[in-house]
Amino acid sequence: YVAGRLSRVAGLSPIIGELLTGVLLGPEVLNIIPYAGKKSNNNHIIWNDHDLLNIWGETGTIGVTLMIMESGMHVKFEKMFLIWKESLGVEILGTLLPVVSGMLCIELLVPGSMYPSGFAAGIALAPTSVGIAIKLLEENEQMNTMPGQTILAAAFLDDIFSLILLVIMINISSDHFTAASIILPTIEAFAYVGVAALLAKKVMPRLVPRAVHFVKLQSMATLQPRDELQLSLMIVLLVGCAIIGAIIGSHLLGAFVAGL
């Protein structure tokens, strides 16, 4: 937080200071966070011969899940329809170029490793950080401009395609790899997002307000019971959608759907 404030004073985005702080505290510099990286017991905690959950890894997983959900919450369907052609072009380049460049870089560094190692590296590079994009656009008051919406729409589509690539990669790495293990999850993922978009547009705006406004307001309450109900419904929806996404291939796909 302090580094972010100092970055703002210096005329930079707070994200710069926050990222640098993470690098400094991480395993490659000060290495003061226990079990945060490869220099700390291979990122695992062993206790009485049991492999325990890594609290930093689990916290990071929760953070990424919430960030992906937030990216889905910022989708505006009306503007998406207006600029889908431009966004699709940006998205295709934004997904394919990192995948191809990742494969080529790995091949140059380690000949013969273009697949599957290079493919995995390319998929890791493909997703757009929607959270950072949103933050930067808000800082510069560009969120509702056409270029801003084009960037956001491309980032959302890029995340969808990247998550589907992740699902494909997970299926490729399994012991039961077949053509169906790639084709079926791809169809399922697109269908899942399509159904979610339909529900988000037609069903949820009518269903949720009725459920929430069924609870009466309380004049003396600091936190309204209807707000607690809405938060509870959001958590239940996130968990449910994440489970379905995990069955298809990745819980992050479910998190994006929950955000929609």
DSSP string, 166-177: HHHHHHHHSSS-
* pLDDT digits 0-9 by tens, 223-259: 888 888 889 999 999 999 999 998 887 888 899 899 9
CA distance 162 to 126: 6
* Per-residue confidence (pLDDT) for residue 50, from 0 to 100: 66
Question: Which strand (E) or helix (H) includes residue 67?
Answer: helix 55-73
Mean pLDDT per 10-residue interval, the chain, length 260 residues: 92 88 86 60 59 72 86 78 79 87 94 89 82 77 80 77 78 72 80 91 86 81 85 94 88 89
What is the distance in angstroms between the CA of the first residue and the CA of the last residue of the chain?
Answer: 29
- What does DSSP assign to residue 224? -
* Per-residue confidence (pLDDT) for residue 39, from 0 to 100: 43
* Per-residue confidence (pLDDT) for residue 46, from 0 to 100: 61
* Per-residue confidence (pLDDT) for residue 207, from 0 to 100: 84
pTM equals 0.71
